[in-house]
Structure 1
Amino acid sequence: MPIEPRRNDPPPTTDGAAADHALALLYADHAKALLGFAERFTGDRGRAEDIVQETFLRAWRQLPRLLDDDRPVRHWLFQVARRLLIDAARSASVRPQFAADSYAQEPFADGGFEQLMDRRVLVDALRDLSPQHRQIVVATFFLGCPMHVAAEQLGVPPGTARSRLHYALGRLRRQLESALAA
C-alpha cells in the first residue's frame, strides 16, 4: 500500500519526483469528491473510477501548466470529469445494443433457461387468475401504481382493491408452489 504524502511534507528535489508528489497531493485532495461526482451521474462505481482515472491522467499530462496557473485546480478537474462524462454518455447513446451479444456463445448461459421457465410458470399462474385479480396484480406489481391510484384506475374503492390483491397473491402463491413442486 503506497504511502500518501501529507500536506506539510517537503516536495522531493528532482523534477520527476516533484511532479509525482504534486499529483499525489492533487489526488489526495480531490479524488474522493471526483469519484462521488462521477458515480452520481453514471450510477456505476467501476465507470466512475474510470472517469476519475482518466481525469488524473489528463491532469498529469497538463501538470506544469496546472501548477503555474493561478486558477483553482479543482475547477479544472471537475470540468475535465464533466466533459468525460458527457463524452461517455454520447458514445453510449450511439452505440447499438444487439440482443445477440448477450447470448454470443450459449443461448441459455447464466441460467437463461431457468429464467425462461420461471417466466412461463408465472405467466400461466397469472392467466389462471380472474380478470379483476389479474388487473390489480398487474397494476400494483408490474406497473408500480400505488394502491389508491390502482383502485381509482380500476374504478373500485381502495378497500376492494386491497382485498382483491390479498386474494390474488394468495392464489398466485399456491399456484407457484404447486408448479415448482411438480
Structure 2
Amino acid sequence: MNDSHIALLRSLHDEHAPALWRYVRRLTGDDELSRDVVQEALLRAWRNPKVLEQGPTAARAWLYTVARNVVIDERRSARARWEIGSERLPERARSDHSDSALDAWLVADVLTQLTPEHRAVIVRAYYMGQSVAELAVALDLPEGTVKSRLHYGLRALRLALEEKGVTGR
C-alpha cells in the first residue's frame, strides 16, 4: 500500500469512524463491540484499496454495509448465542500458598534423610545464602570439599525427592 492509500484510509477514518461507531452502537447496544466492528470495517477497507479509490460517498456506503454485515455475523456466531455477558467482573484469583508450603515441608522432610555433612552445606548455601568461601571458613573445610559436598548432597536430595514421587519441574 502506498502513501496515497494510507492518506485516503486516514481521511476515511477521520471522516467516518465517529458516525460509523454511533450507527453500530445503535445496532448492538455495546460500546466495546461497536469499537471492534468499526475497527474490522476499517481493516477490511485497508485490505481492499479499490474501495478507497471510489470516492468518499461510495466508501462511506461500503463501510456501513460492511459494519452491518459484521454485526449480523456476530449475532449469528456461536459465541453470541452461548456467551452470557455480565456487568460484574468475576472474583479475582487469590494466591494460594499451599503448594509452596507443601513443597517446603517435603524438602525439609527429605533433608533429614541426608548425611549431616551434606545437609549442613545445603542448608547454609541455599537457605542462609552463604557462598562456597564462607562455607569453607565456617565449616573449616577446603573449598573443594564444600563444592563436592554440595554436589553430592544435591544429587542425594534429588534422588530422595524422586523416591517420594516428585519429578523435576
TM-score range, shorter chain: 0.3 to 0.5
Task: Give the greater-gyration-radius structure (CA).
Answer: 2
Q: Report the TM-score when normalising by structure 1.
A: 0.42
